[in-house]
C-alpha cells in the first residue's frame, strides 16, 4: 500500500514539475510575442545580408507571415527556459541520486546548457554568414533567388539544433567515462575515426566546401579533446576515491 502511495506521490510531483516547466515557457513566450516580427527579422538578417540587392524573401502560404514569427518565438521561449526546465528535472531526480552523483550531475546540467547556447550562437554568428553567402552566390539561369520564410525558419532551426547538440560532445564524453562505457585512452585510440566522422558530419550539415565543413568539424574536434581531458581527470579522481574508500 505504501509503495503505491509512493508511486502516486512521485507522479504528482512529476506532473507539478512538468506544469512548472510549461508555465516558464509560457511566461517567456507572452512578452516575446510582441516582438515576434522583429525577432524573425533578426533571425533572417544573415540571409538578407547575403542575398542579391534585388532579391527578397517570400511567403508561399497566406498565413506564413503570421505563423512563422510566432513559431520562432515559441522555440526561442523554450530555448531561454531550458535552464529552468533542467532545474525541474534536477529537482525530480536529485533525491534518488548518491552524493557523488549529485556532485557530477549538477555541473553537467549547467555546462550542457551553456554549451548548447554556445553552439546556437556559433551557428548564427559564424556559420550562417558563410553558408548563406555560398548559397546566394550560386546562380542558375532562369531561377530567381527567393527564399520562403517558413522553409528558411525550418532550415535554421535544424542547424541550431544540430550545432547545439554537436557542442554537447564534452558532456557526452564525461558521462561515458563516468558510467564506465569507455575511458580516455580508448577514445584517444579512436581519434583518427573521430576526425573522419567530424568532417563527414560537417559535410552533411554544411555546403560542400572545405571552409564550411571545417567550421563545424574543427570545433567538434576541439570539444572532443576537451571532453577527453575532463573525462580522464574525472576518471582518475574516481579511482583515487574508490581506493580511499576500500582502504
3-state helix, strand, coil in the chain (%, to 5): 85, 0, 15
pLDDT, one tens digit per residue, over 99-151 is 776 777 778 888 888 999 999 999 999 888 888 888 777 767 667 777 889 99
Cβ pair 232, 188 in contact under 8 A? no
Mean model confidence pLDDT for the chain: 83
Residue tagged 549529485 (cell numbers): 102
Tell me what the mean pLDDT of segment 12-24 comes to. Answer: 89
Cβ pair 173, 224 in contact under 8 A? yes
Burial grade of 149 (CB within 10 A; 0-12, 13-18, 19 or more): buried
CA distance linking residue 164 with residue 188, whole number of Å: 24
pLDDT, one tens digit per residue, over 50-98 is 887 777 888 888 888 889 999 999 999 999 998 888 888 877 777 776 7
> For position 245, what pLDDT does the model report?
45
- Percent of residues, the chain, with pLDDT higher than 70: 88
**Predicted model pTM:** 0.82
Cβ pair 27, 37 in contact under 8 A? no
> For position 2, what pLDDT does the model report?
59
Ordered by start, the domain boundaries in the chain are: 2-239
Cβ pair 148, 67 in contact under 8 A? no
Please, which pLDDT band fits residue 246 given cuts at 50, 70 and 90? very low
Give ∠ CA 107-73-38 in degrees, rounded to 5.
120
Query: How far from each other are the two terminal CA atoms of the chain, in whole angstroms?
Result: 42
pLDDT, one tens digit per residue, over 32-57 is 999 999 999 999 999 888 887 777 88
CA distance linking residue 51 with residue 49, whole number of Å: 6
How many Cα neighbours within 13 Å face the side chain of 51?
15
CA distance linking residue 213 with residue 22, whole number of Å: 36
pLDDT, one tens digit per residue, over 197-231 is 888 887 887 766 677 778 888 888 999 998 888 88
Cβ pair 116, 171 in contact under 8 A? no
Amino acid at each position: 500500500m505504501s509503495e503505491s502511495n509512493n508511486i502516486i506521490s512521485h507522479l504528482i510531483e512529476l506532473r507539478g514539475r512538468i506544469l512548472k516547466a510549461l508555465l516558464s515557457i509560457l511566461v517567456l513566450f507572452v512578452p516575446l510575442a510582441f516582438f515576434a516580427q522583429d525577432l524573425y527579422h533578426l533571425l533572417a538578417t544573415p540571409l538578407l545580408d547575403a542575398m542579391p540587392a534585388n532579391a527578397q524573401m517570400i511567403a508561399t502560404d497566406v498565413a506564413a507571415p503570421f505563423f512563422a514569427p510566432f513559431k520562432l518565438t515559441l522555440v526561442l521561449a523554450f530555448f531561454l527556459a531550458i535552464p529552468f526546465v533542467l532545474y525541474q528535472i534536477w529537482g525530480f531526480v536529485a533525491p534518488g541520486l548518491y552524493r557523488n552523483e549529485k556532485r557530477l550531475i549538477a555541473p553537467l546540467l549547467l555546462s550542457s546548457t551553456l554549451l548548447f547556447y554556445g553552439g546556437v550562437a556559433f551557428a548564427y554568428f559564424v556559420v550562417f554568414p558563410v553558408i548563406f553567402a555560398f548559397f546566394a552566390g550560386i546562380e542558375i539561369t532562369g531561377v530567381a533567388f527567393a527564399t520562403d520564410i517558413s522553409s528558411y525558419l525550418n532550415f535554421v532551426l535544424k542547424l541550431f539544433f544540430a550545432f547545439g547538440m554537436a557542442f554537447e560532445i564534452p558532456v557526452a564524453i564525461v558521462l561515458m567515462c563516468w558510467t564506465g562505457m569507455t575511458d580516455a585512452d580508448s577514445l584517444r585510440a579512436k581519434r583518427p575515426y573521430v576526425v573522419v566522422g567530424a568532417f563527414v558530419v560537417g559535410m552533411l550539415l554544411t555546403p560542400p566546401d572545405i571552409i564550411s565543413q571545417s567550421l563545424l568539424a574543427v570545433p567538434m574536434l576541439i570539444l572532443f579533446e576537451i571532453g577527453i581531458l575532463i573525462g580522464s581527470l574525472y576518471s582518475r579522481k574516481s579511482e583515487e576515491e574508490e581506493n580511499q574508500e576500500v582502504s
